[in-house]
Structure 1
Amino acid sequence: MTTTTSSPTIILIAGHWLGAWAWDKVREHLTTDDSSAIAMTLPGLDARDPERTTKTLDDQAEAILGAISQHGNPPAILVAHSGANAPVSLVMDRHPELVHRVVWVDSGPVATGSVFAPDIPEELEELPLPSFDVLAEQASLEGLSAEDLEQFRARAVPEPGPVLRQPVELTNDARHKVQTTLVCCSIPSAQVVELAQTGHPMFAEVANLEHLDVIDLPTGHWPMWSRPRDLAKIIGSVASLEN
């Protein structure tokens, strides 16, 4: 008789303006022994959805929870890039028992009360991808080819205004017990840890994590395009620890 054990499903979640397609290069190289990997598009970032501009962080968190239930036996491994940190933080707060590990890709957990863009007006329905000159002032484009940037521009979906304005409300300290890996790309891990220890608002939650590993992957803010093979290897290695 053969005995099988279920392994955590890996759920890949990209940041602002991006859908499941952003992980295509990573998935080409992602090989794990037993775990399955899926990429998801968050509510509000599906260009075919006529109501996408009304979607909220709550909608996104519920979609992630749905993906955990639909694509395998919980708990899951969540791989969260950039602005996916807000809905994933909500998931960890509401159902930490469903998350075996979070892999933050050039990102990290947010603190309660965080708002991505508190100054944008209420009447703004969506925020399109800015020019790359403007974007480069906010996040590193290092390692991206002209082809990468062309695809980014062609496939980006404007970020819904409600997602950018909604405060993240967290109440459950059990989220700090979830095993965590930081993949540090545009900011070295030593600097991230230092900023966390000194209480920098962007990294304050990192100091509260009880089970933390840090890995450096030097490149820009979109390593799924600039170093997909290396990112896939890291994700696969993390997943293999759970089997």
Structure 2
Amino acid sequence: MTHFVLVAGAWLGAWAWDEVAAQLRAAGHDVHPLTLSGLAEKRGVPAGQQAHVQDIVDEVERLDLRDVVLVGHSYSGVPVGQAAERIGERLGRVVLIDANVPVDGESFLSGWPSGPVREAIAAHDGFWPCPDPAEFAGQGLTDEQVARFVAGATPHPGAALTEPAVLSRPFGELPGTYVKCLLDGEEPWGAAAELLRSERWNLVDLDTGHWPMFSRPRELAGILEASAT
């Protein structure tokens, strides 16, 4: 049995992992989807990136998890990566799913053309507004899956996107797996590409779009289970 803590990306809460969590539990694993502060049922709670890091650390320590697999999707790769360092010997492995990689002193918005996101945050009282259904085109999602996403999505706290990551050592020193969703680009880029030069990390491709917990939950659960062995 493996202990998994699952953290979804921007706009999403623990609910986004329902199908993946069911698959993992059916295989006998201990699974803890986590909603970060300011999102879903925690909407209205003040939140920045470091608050999200603490959310993850607190969950691992509260449950007294050992040999835990921390899973971060998209935005959540940044706080998950920092939490992985902070939980020390409790960590078994990190799995990042089409995720941004934490870099000390840099934010989620560093390293890519983020001007439109910053403008949207400024125009929406400090929150990144939820995407329009048209933005999901080409990501392997059915109309029903897009509707489910949009119905459950929460505007994302802007501070979580602009605060810098804090790491005390190179992230590549931790053991990990990077899952690249091919419909969202065939190659990892930026800090993710650099991370995969580490001998402690391996790359797994998944032929779907950026939100595989909706589009390919069974296959994603299988990758997570395999990563823990």
TM-score range, shorter chain: 0.7 to 0.9
Aligned counterpart, 1:125: 126
Aligned counterpart, 2:36: 42
Gaps of 5+ in 2: none
Aligned counterpart, 1:4: none
Q: Does 1:185 align with 2:184?
A: no
Cα distance, 1:230–1:170 mapped onto 2, change above 3 Å = same
Alpha-carbon shift at residue 235 of structure 1 (Å): 1.2
Alpha-carbon shift at residue 229 of structure 1 (Å): 0.7
Runs of 4+ in structure 1 displaced over 4 angstroms? Answer: 31-34, 187-190
Bigger radius of gyration? 1
Find the residue that maps to 1:77 and give its secondary structure: strand
Find the residue that maps to 1:30 and give its secondary structure: helix
Q: Which amino acid aligns with 1:152?
A: F
What TM-score do the two structures reach when normalised by structure 2?
0.84
1:88-237 to 2 correspondences below 5 Å = 88-117=80-109, 119=115, 120=118, 124-133=125-134, 135-136=135-136, 141-173=138-170, 175-186=171-182, 191-192=187-188, 195=189, 200-201=190-191, 203-207=193-197, 209-237=198-226
Gaps of 5+ in 1: 1-6
Distance in 2 separating the partners of 1:150 and 1:33: 29
Distance in 1 separating the partners of 2:193 and 2:72: 15
Aligned length: 220
Distance in 2 separating the partners of 1:44 and 1:186: 30
Cα distance, 1:180–1:49 mapped onto 2, change above 3 Å = same
Q: Which amino acid aligns with 2:168?
A: T
Alpha-carbon shift at residue 188 of structure 1 (Å): 8.8
Match of 1:74 among 66, 71, 76: 66
Report if aligned partners of 1:46, 1:157 keep a CA contact under 8 Å in 2: yes
Aligned counterpart, 2:56: 64
Choose between structure 1 and 2 for higher RCO, CA contacts under 8 A separated by at least 6 residues.
Answer: 1
Q: Report the identity percentage.
A: 30
What TM-score do the two structures reach when normalised by structure 1?
0.80
161-170 or 23-32, which deviates more: 23-32
Alpha-carbon shift at residue 49 of structure 1 (Å): 3.9
